[in-house]
Structure 1
Amino acid sequence: MTYLILGIIIFFGAHLFSAFRSRAPGKDLKARLGYGPFMGLYSLVSAVGLGMMIWGFGAARPAPILYSPPTGLAHLNLALMLPAMILLAAAYLPTGRIKKAVKHPMLAAVKIWALGHLLANGELNSVLLFGSFLAYGVIDRIAVKKRGDIGPGPDAPVSAIGDIGAVVIGAGAYAVILLWLHPILFGMPALPQ
């Protein structure tokens, strides 16, 4: 459990620092270091934290059970993952109606993913991991709003390719993870037993 907790602290520490760092001229660390060095350091710290979380999550099994969710919540989690994957894809594609409506689809995807997994998993390691992602998603959304980052502006051009791509890529990724990758990557079948 120690590596999981350290990974959470390192990963989200870097992300929260980035979310709340000063963007004022002369005070913005990203501007002072330069984009490349800042992003390199940020990526390295995040990767270390993520690696520790992944390893620590698996090493914490079997973990104490805090609650036993009914099977129906596992099915709800499966249903929530499809829009989460579509939103995740939308975050990296040209602005479509999905991205324009949601404004920050990556944060929305993280919150939906984390909430769904909290509903379906009651082990301590799951609650720590997914609870941390959900808390971060909420905190970062507040920080983004406070900074005045409204996502794609009201006059941003909308591309149908962004929406079509988000649905196709998101649904495809959902199917691959559901049917094949989840047990390989996470040691657990995605489909309820």
Structure 2
Amino acid sequence: MTWFFVSVAVFMAGHIVPGLLRGAITARIGHTAYIITFSVTSLFLLGWVIYEVRHADFIALWPYEIWQNHVTLTFMLPACILWAAAIIQPCPLSIGRKKGFDPARPGINRLTRHPLLLGMMLWGLGHIVPNGDLVAFMFFGGATVFAIAGFWRMEKIRARHMDVAEYKAILDGTRRFDVAGLAKGALGWRDIGLGILLYVVLLWAHPYVIGVDPSAVIGG
């Protein structure tokens, strides 16, 4: 379990330190190189954490039941659609593309300013249920808390690079979370289509990457 905590500490440092030094780093290597390097490093560190979760001592908190996997499968579809929206649509106050945002047509930002983080929250919550051991609970629960805290942190970071009028205009037409946004054009067919595709790809890749086949319980 020691290496799990080490991997988590390094993962957190890998996000906090680059954020604090972002200005100096981008000035030296450029914004694009920074994003690529940060993304690759984050994926590598996340893979390390997942490896340690899979190999940590098993300390049971609750028994496994097959219905629990259906919770994960259910939560992951909206998570994938939210991630797709974060790729396709601009999210000026969160992780994702900032350019091209129109306050008159906020899109996904009517539902949430943070589709990637909201999707991460659903991913964490959905995976807690069928993984009833201590390390998995800390990992997925921690990821959920990390995502929720990111709502406020990302807005604070983005606000540093905006004037007051621009920031206020974005806040006025967007929401951290408002389900009514679904009826106001928050999601388009491209978001849903790409989200379903991502969902299918994850189902296919999961047994090869993680070693667990979530689709095995479909119909079970």
Report the counterpart of residue 5 of structure 1 in structure 2.
5
Q: Does 1:142 align with 2:152?
A: yes
Report the counterpart of residue 182 of structure 1 in structure 2.
206
Q: Structure 2: how far apart are the matches of 1:5 and 1:38? A: 26
**Aligned-pair distance for 1:94?**
3.0
1:6-21 residue pairs with structure 2 within 5 A?
A: 6-18=6-18, 21=20
- Give the partner amino acid of 1:115: L
Gaps of 5+ in 1: none
Q: Structure 1: how far apart are the matches of 2:65 and 2:144? A: 21
**Aligned-pair distance for 1:185?**
1.4
Q: Structure 2: how far apart are the matches of 1:64 and 1:8? A: 18
Report the counterpart of residue 172 of structure 1 in structure 2.
197
Q: TM-score, normalised by structure 1?
A: 0.75
- Give the partner amino acid of 1:35: H
Q: Secondary structure of 1:92's partner? A: helix
Q: Secondary structure of 2:77's partner? A: helix
1:83-102 residue pairs with structure 2 within 5 A?
A: 83-95=78-90, 97-102=107-112
Instruction: Say what the alpha-carbon RMSD is for the aligned residues.
Output: 3.1
Q: CA distance change for structure 1 residues 172 and 41 in 2, over 3 Å: closer, same or farther?
A: closer
Q: Structure 1: how far apart are the matches of 2:69 and 2:60? A: 16
Q: Structure 2: how far apart are the matches of 1:47 and 1:116? A: 20
- Give the partner amino acid of 1:189: D
Identity %: 26
- Give the partner amino acid of 2:55: A
Work out whether residues 206 and 214 of structure 2, in 8 Å CA contact, stay in contact via their aligned partners in 1. yes
Aligned residue pairs: how many?
A: 180
Report the counterpart of residue 42 of structure 1 in structure 2.
38
Report the counterpart of residue 77 of structure 1 in structure 2.
72
Work out whether residues 90 and 99 of structure 1, in 8 Å CA contact, stay in contact via their aligned partners in 2. no
Q: Does 1:130 align with 2:154?
A: no
**Aligned-pair distance for 1:93?**
0.5
Work out whether residues 11 and 48 of structure 1, in 8 Å CA contact, stay in contact via their aligned partners in 2. no
**Aligned-pair distance for 1:97?**
2.7
Gaps of 5+ in 2: 91-105, 160-166, 175-184
Q: Structure 2: how far apart are the matches of 1:32 and 1:164? A: 38
Q: Does 1:52 align with 2:48?
A: yes
Q: Structure 2: how far apart are the matches of 1:56 and 1:22? A: 28
Q: Structure 2: how far apart are the matches of 1:53 and 1:135? A: 16
